[in-house]
Amino acid sequence: MTSEADTPTCSARGCREAAAWMLLWRNPRLHTPDRVKRWAACETHLESLRSFLTDRGFPCETEAVPQGGAMG
């Protein structure tokens, strides 16, 4: 059983919404291919957070947050 506390919160500044998406990214100038950082995104901020990363040339994948919010 999961609780609301298990659901990640959006990474956008000032946003407290539950995340529906995880952005998996890395800075290729700093991180090796096996180093992946995660940002959580709500529906409202998904595109702006993804654009922030991709505009800088950072490889970025998007995954849906499983229902219940648990991320492996």
- Chain segment 27-40, per-residue pLDDT in tens: 999 989 999 999 99
Q: What is the pLDDT of residues 13-67, one digit of tens each?
A: 999 999 999 999 999 999 899 999 999 999 999 999 999 999 999 999 999 998 7
Cα–Cα distance, 62 to 29 (Å, whole number): 21
pTM of the model: 0.81
**What type of residue is 20?**
A
Residue with tokens 């505009």: 55
